[in-house]
Amino acid sequence: MPDAAPQSPGVAKPLPAGQKPFAPEDEASLREALKRCSPSTFEAAIQFRKTGNAEHVPAVVIGVIERFVEPDLRVKLKDADDDLRLIEDLGIDSLTMMEIVILVEDVLQLSINNDELRNLRTVGDVKTFIDCKIRGLPLPRPTKFLPIEHIGAVMPVQPPFLFLNEASVSSTAANGKYKITGQEFFLQGHFKDNPVMPASIMLEALGQLAVLFLLEGVPTEPGKVVGPNTIFFTGCEGVRAHRICKPGDILTLSIKPKRMKMPLATFEGAIRVGQEKAVIAEEITLTFAYVEAAEQPAVVNGASETVPVDAGAQPARPLRAAVNA
């Protein structure tokens, strides 16, 4: 999500365009609208309505979502995990999503077009979307959810050295998962009678997620793509391992770009198992280059057409069987 602009102490930001000053009677109306939300949600809404400071918006959005989520699923929102999926992880259907949107519109005094909701798949999508609406910024590209077949088709790394089972990529971050099966070749000797995922392999997995971000999330010039065969590891700093990871653990990986100017891209990364921190890397740096987008014939609606494809991309392979072996 875009960073909030620095704010001097005691100086309020201008209210969003079209938003009237907060009057005493508005507080009672806001309290009634948020009566089933937490006190912290109400307080954040009050502060936003009084100051227009977008830094309060995430707390409001999370609080409103929590109000509509089943009680046994609300614990997932405690850490405000941006890669939580609205449908799969939180059980939010389309009708419930409309209820959330209507309440957010009322509390934040903004208007949301129904067509704009189609691409909101995660908590992070919702937070970023609302933040952009409040600030008047262009809406970000929707998050792309990538199954193993797609990952294997575009990645230069292949099994048995591919450590992503699924991933999602937005314009600001990437998230992925990898389940340690116990059948990985390197576990045969790491360690004797005590299989442990090497920390170096977990860093490799974060690096692979960064590669996927370069291939799927980075905007390029027309006719240009990031070449899969141009991406290489150059450095890693600030690494800490916090947890031993063993067969059966599901690694949740996340990376965010910190600096990006060709030929270098630097990311921060983290791995969790459930809510437990496993590995953090303050900086992972890759080198990359743009290449011309190739064209190849493809069948579209029964006819052969020429469509651009990523130069250097690998052909699709039957990966799911290899991953689940």
| CB half-sphere exposure, 305, CA atoms < 13 A | 8
To the query of whether residue 56 is one of the catalytic residues in this protein, the response is no
Q: Do the beta carbons of residue 257 and residue 211 sit within 8 Å?
A: no
Q: Do the beta carbons of residue 84 and residue 123 sit within 8 Å?
A: yes
Q: Do the beta carbons of residue 283 and residue 236 sit within 8 Å?
A: yes
Angle between helices 94-108 and 24-33 (to 10 degrees): 170
Q: Determine the Cα–Cα distance for residues 242 and 206; give it in Å rounded to an integer.
A: 15
Which residue of the set 56, 150, 190, 242 is catalytic? 190
Q: Determine the Cα–Cα distance for residues 206 and 291; give it in Å rounded to an integer.
A: 24
Which residues touch 282 (CB under 8 Å, ≥6 apart)? Answer: 237, 238, 239, 268
Main-chain phi, psi angles of 144, to 5 degrees: -100, 130
Other Cβ atoms closer than 10 A to 3 = 7
Pairing of strands 264-273, 232-241: unpaired
Q: Determine the Cα–Cα distance for residues 167 and 124; give it in Å rounded to an integer.
A: 14
Other Cβ atoms closer than 10 A to 251 = 22
Q: Which residue has the tokens 């059980």?
A: 91
Q: Which residues are catalytic?
A: 190
